[in-house]
Amino acid sequence: MARSDTLRSEIARLQAKKGGLAEDIAKAEKTAATAREAARKKRDQASRSKSTTSLKSAMTAAEREDKKVAKAEKDVA
C-alpha cells in the first residue's frame, strides 16, 4: 500500500471519528438545554407554590435537573 493510500484511509477514519464526536456533543448540548429548561420550570413552579411540601418537591426536582445539566456540560467539555 502506498503512503498516499495510507494517508487517505487515515483521513477518512479521522473524519468519521470527528463526525461521531460532533454528534455526541450535539446530543449532550441538547440534553443540557432540556434539563436547564426543566429546572427553570420547576423553580417557577416552586415560586408559585403555597404548600411547603410542593415547594420542597419542586426544588428537589430542580436540583436533579441541575445535576443533569452539569453532567451534560461536563460531557461536552
What b/e sequence results for 2-39 when a residue is b if at least 16 CB atoms lie within 10 Å of its CB, and e otherwise? eeeeeeeeeeeeeeeeeeeeeeeeeebeebbeebbebb
Report pLDDT digits (tens) over 8-21: 999 999 999 999 99
The pLDDT profile of the chain, 77 residues, written as one tens digit per residue, is: 688 899 999 999 999 999 999 999 999 999 999 999 999 999 999 999 889 999 999 999 999 999 999 999 888 88
Which pLDDT score, from 0 to 100, does residue 43 have? 93
Domain boundaries, the chain: 3-76
Which pLDDT score, from 0 to 100, does residue 49 have? 87
